[in-house]
Amino acid sequence: MEVVVMINKYSSVFLMLMVLFFSGCSSNPSLPSNSMTSYVQNFLGDEFPNPPISVNNSIVKYEFTLWTTKEKLYFDKSKVCIEKHAVMVGDWCAYNGTTPLYYVESHQIRHPEGGFAYRNVLYENLGDVASPDWKNIYTSLGFITKEKMDLKKKKESDAYKAASAEAENSYKKEKQRLINSVAQVMRSDVGTVICKSENDNYLGLYKGYVEGHSKSKVKVRLFSHTAAIGKFNDTDQQPIIWSAPYGWYVCD
């Protein structure tokens, strides 16, 4: 039997449980028509031989591959769940959001002919959903109730909103700082020292004296150009330039 290894700190323990649990189980048994396993078989159709189904104590483990993005889009893991009047909790289907019925684990793999395919493992309980064996499996797979899932999503949403609000506030503050800086430069007296950093100091810091203003530019006599690597000589002759005020600020 092919085994998919999930790489985490519990993988070896979980793998051992799965091997022991599903060893000696039957293949391709008669299945309830309203099961997720039956849905998968019908979805896959007869174009390719259906992979074997492992069943032990009415618990199914079914590994299958969706070979195209179109199949991935049309594959509906919630259809059977809705028909059973249960709800999806992430990739789980559960009664009342608390009692798991099945789980579809999916991950992307390389298609042999190029592009991507999608490897899936279905775990489904066709019998007693309160059985200890099933509880061990869904606990090992990380099932959480809908209430906990909703709480987790709310915390993530609140954190995202808070981060977005902080970023927006920082943006507004920086925008206002630049506006104030431009206004200050354009109102500055002749002889005022102003500075401009190029590309976060990678190209250094320019310094110059205000020589005048036009409607949209400032006239600057450059006298210094320094950087972390040393001093540049392009301002030794104190060239005069006309520059847009953006990026310039009053300095010492």
Q: What is the pLDDT of residues 120-163, one digit of tens each?
A: 999 999 999 999 999 999 999 999 888 888 888 898 999 999 99
CB contact at 8 A, 122 and 92:
no
For the whole model, what pTM was predicted?
0.55
pLDDT class of 99 with cuts at 50, 70, 90: very high
Report the alpha-carbon distance of residue 183 to residue 166 in Å, rounded: 26
Quick check: 62 pLDDT over 50? yes
Residue ranges of domains in the chain: 11-147, 177-250
pLDDT of residue 252: 80
Q: How far apart are CA 141 and CA 63, in angstroms?
A: 15
Q: Return the ∠ at Cα 246 (arms to 243 and 252), rounded to 5°.
A: 85
- Who's near 242: CB < 8 A, 6+ residues apart? 214, 217, 218, 219, 220
Amino acid 47: pLDDT: 63
Whether the Cβ atoms of residue 205 and residue 194 lie closer than 8 Å to each other = no
What's the pLDDT band for 15 if we cut at 50, 70, 90? very low
Residue 96 CA to residue 185 CA, distance in Å, equals 65
How many other CB atoms sit within 10 Å of the CB of residue 224?
Answer: 16
231: confidence class by pLDDT, cuts 50, 70, 90: confident
* Class of 177-250 in CATH: mainly beta
Say how far residue 10 (Cα) sits from the centre of its chain: 23
For tokens 């992307």, what's the residue?
Answer: 108
